[in-house]
Amino acid sequence: MELARQGTRLVLSARRLDELQRVAAATGLPDSHLLILPLDVTDEALLPTHVQTVLAQFGQIDSVFLNAGITQRSFVSETDFAVYRRLMDVNFFGAIALTQAVLPTMLAQKGGHFVVTSSVSGKIGVKQRSGYCASKHALHGFFDSLRAEVASEGLNVTIVCPGYIKTPISQSALDAQGGRYGKSDTHQEQGMAAGECARRILKAVATKREEVYIGGTELLGIYLKRFLPSLLSRILRNRSVEA
Ligand SMILES: NC(=O)c1ccc[n+]([C@@H]2O[C@H](COP(=O)([O-])OP(=O)(O)OC[C@H]3O[C@@H](n4cnc5c(N)ncnc54)[C@H](OP(=O)(O)O)[C@@H]3O)[C@@H](O)[C@H]2O)c1
């Protein structure tokens, strides 16, 4: 919605076509500025074809927002291995697959911007999010490497680390057996509005920030990890499980 306000030409992608259509209608953008392109980031073989569809309509790809993600609510001791595979497939391999599908176009253009949604959980590990935290940490390794490789080609990488943002993310969280958690968590409910988060993300993109932290006091965890890691470890160990 923030990009639409700026008159950007948009490709809207996720799995649920009805949701994409709802958002597309809400943008108020003309058809010439919109492409609804349903996709699943785990269908990696199809992604190059989707890129061609975008190029056929718009002729170029300036930015790609690697934002698809699912989270988890389960302890390591009770979690099925398949849950870890699923979290890595969507949050990590999905982002890599889409990046590799788009990269040749951006290299040929000698320009482009990858905007990667990590998390505060990409910087610290917390209870009941072991696979989610691992997938987000992995994004930093991959995209820091990519940035180093493509900076000289005019390509940018911004890694976004939000804290608690008010979205329905906990509803679709995986439980220990890979089922739907289906509840709203208080922290997300009381978190920053998604629109405010989006505005801050776009500001970071406009100024070509390499990494940006967006949220409230939970961001302190990132700085404690860097400067007082033992203190953070004690805090996280003693913290009751979130709801
Ligand atoms: N909310 C927070 O507090 C918070 C904090 C830090 C980071 N984040 C990150 O922010 C990103 C967006 O999450 P959100 O909070 O906005 O939650 P959300 O409302 O649940 O959004 C997740 C989005 O990912 C899409 N998605 C999920 N699986 C997909 C797949 N296999 N292929 C394509 N699209 C897929 C979903 O659409 P479909 O279901 O239609 O596919 C949905 O649009 C995630 O990466 C999340 O980890 C969120």
Residues 107-143 have pLDDT tens digits of 999 999 999 999 999 999 999 999 999 999 999 999 9
Question: pLDDT at residue 243 above 60?
Answer: no
pLDDT of residue 240: 85
Residues 6 or more apart in contact with residue 168 via CB below 8 angstroms: 184
Q: Which atom of ligand 1 is nearest to the CA of 170?
A: 20
Phi, psi of 82 (to 5 degrees): -60, -25
Residue 58, both tokens: 């718009």
Q: For residue 48, name the pLDDT band (cuts at 50, 70, 90).
A: very high
Residue 223, both tokens: 């700085």
- What domains appear along the chain, each with residue ranges and CATH number? 39-238 (3.40.50.720)
Residues 219-228 have pLDDT tens digits of 999 999 999 9
Q: For residue 242, name the pLDDT band (cuts at 50, 70, 90).
A: low
Give the mean pLDDT of 55-69: 98
CA-based Rg of the chain, rounded to a whole angstrom?
A: 18
User: What's the CA-to-centroid distance between 120 and ligand 1, angstroms?
Assistant: 15
For residues 105 and 112, give the distance between their C-alpha atoms in angstroms, rounded to a whole number: 9
The residue contributing the CA closest to ligand 1 atom 25 is: 68
Say whether 223 is catalytic: no
pTM above 0.85, yes or no: yes
Q: Catalytic residue among 84, 132, 181, 213, which?
A: 132
